[in-house]
Amino acid sequence: MKILGISGSPRLQGTHYLVNYSLNYLKEKGAETKYFTVHKKTINFCRHCDYCIKKKEGCVFKDDMEEVYKGLEWADGIIIGTPVYQGTITGQLKTLMDRCRALVAKKPDILRGKVGMGIAVGGDRNGGQEVALRTIHDFYMINEIFPVGGGSFGANLGATFWSKDKGEEGVKEDEEGLRVLRKTLNKFYKALKMLKTM
């Protein structure tokens, strides 16, 4: 079972900690993992030049997305974490998602049948975490990845955190968030196992 974790935070704080917490949790169950953070990476905006559609050779830009493309192709499961910015995902993560158009244009079935889950970290208790999760789930659906939530009675759409703007320290203090994250990770792991044995 191969899992790629992506952090959409420009910092190595709460989201970075939580995506790595998730990868370590699944490593203990026997998964192989890779991690990518947008921190200090160069990811150009998609400029809708349609090079990827016309050439079917990937993106016209050769930047840090090369690592993401390789990781997405390699993975069976994808965990995307994001801080909440202006009520939704970060601009860095949105740019990364936009750039995946080139990957799918080159290989249309590349992401089909993989499994994905999300983690959203807000400074406020109700700061837009669910909107951010839904944006991550939309990305999965558009790219034929099965989105997995945490299940009813407690975890619902997936893992949401209230960092109180205290970065890593803040998410570590959010015990309810960590409980919901573990519940979501267990569902994600089960879904991956189901798909692998089909």
Ligand X SMILES: Cc1cc2nc3c(=O)[nH]c(=O)nc-3n(C[C@H](O)[C@H](O)[C@H](O)COP(=O)(O)O)c2cc1C
Which residue among 21, 69, 85, 188 contacts ligand X (CB under 6 A)? 85
Does residue 39 belong to the site contacting ligand X (CB under 6 A)?
no
How far apart CA 129 and CA 32 sit, in angstroms, is: 28
What does residue 176 show for φ and ψ, rounded to 5 degrees?
-65, -40
Nearer to ligand X, 76 or 173 (CB): 173
In the complex, minimum distance from the CB of residue 6 to ligand X, in angstroms, rounded to a whole number = 12
- In angstroms, the Cα distances linking 151 to 119, 123, 187 are 14, 24, 8
Nearest to 150 by CA among 139, 141, 161, 142: 161
**DSSP 3-state of 120:** strand
Does residue 167 belong to the site contacting ligand X (CB under 6 A)?
yes
Q: What is the DSSP string of 141-169?
A: HHTTPEE---BTTTTBTSEEEE-TT-HHH
Which residue among 68, 84, 136, 157 contacts ligand X (CB under 6 A)? 84
Which residue among 122, 149, 158, 177 contacts ligand X (CB under 6 A)? 122
Does residue 177 belong to the site contacting ligand X (CB under 6 A)?
no
Nearer to ligand X, 58 or 127 (CB): 127
In the complex, minimum distance from the CB of residue 164 to ligand X, in angstroms, rounded to a whole number = 8
**DSSP 3-state of 7:** strand
Which residue among 33, 143, 163, 184 contacts ligand X (CB under 6 A)? 163
With contacts defined by CB under 6 A, name the span among 30-38, 53-61, 83-91, 104-112 that binds ligand X: 83-91
In the complex, minimum distance from the CB of residue 72 to ligand X, in angstroms, rounded to a whole number = 21
Nearest to 87 by CA among 149, 155, 133, 137: 133
Q: Which residue has the tokens 């944006």?
A: 135
Which residue among 45, 49, 86, 190 contacts ligand X (CB under 6 A)? 86
In the complex, minimum distance from the CB of residue 174 to ligand X, in angstroms, rounded to a whole number = 10
How far apart CA 21 and CA 6 sit, in angstroms, is: 12
Q: Which residues form the interface with ligand X (CB under 6 A)? A: 9, 11, 13-15, 83-87, 121-124, 127-128, 163, 165, 167
